[in-house]
Amino acid sequence: MSQRLDYARKAPELFKKYLDFSLLLKQTSLDVTLRDLVTLRASQLNGCAFCVDMHVKEATLHGERALRLHHVAIWRESTLFSPRERAALAWVEVLTHLPPQGVADADFLAVREHFSDKEVAELSFAIVAINGWNRLSVGFAVVPGSQDALYGLDKSGLR
């Protein structure tokens, strides 16, 4: 299957602004390991093959262990994640699959136990960003691995 449409070329100004927003997230107080877990989990939930592929490779380049990457899909049952990481992963799930009744106070309080107000806001923006990228990649059938050289992911050793 090939990509349906090159959305970056068809709407370059919007693509650039959204990319700028996403790159700005790298300057937040959230550490790279947490950002990697968040982007991978949202991409799994959204069934985004391109982004799952990309974020596994990025996390590998950032030094994440393979077993933890495998366990992201089963994080609730896994013992490999800290309470802070577990709170972030739970927040990813609730914001990615918004409940019909909205986000429960208990879900918000759970993430607040491990993150400051600023960090909750930054984490939420990170989740918003990856969900948008997932929707673009799924909608336009972006091929996994097709941008590896452009993003330096070919250095991950994963093919």
Q: Residue 144: what residue type?
A: P
pLDDT per residue as tens digits for the range 5-36: 899 999 999 999 999 999 999 999 999 999 99
Q: CB within 8 A of 6, min separation 6: which ones?
A: 140
Q: Which CATH architecture has domain 12-156?
A: Up-down Bundle (1.20)
21-25, 123-127, 128-132, 149-153 — which is least confidently predicted? 149-153
Per-residue pLDDT at 148 exceeds 80: no
Predicted TM-score (pTM) of this structure:
0.93
> So what's the pLDDT on residue 144?
85
pLDDT category, 90, cuts 50, 70, 90? very high
The Cα–Cα gap between 44 and 42 comes to 5
Q: C-alpha distances in angstroms, 94 versus 3, 34, 41, 87, 99?
A: 29, 17, 11, 11, 7
Per-residue pLDDT at 114 exceeds 80: yes
Quick one: angle between helices 32-45 and 49-61, nearest 10? Answer: 160
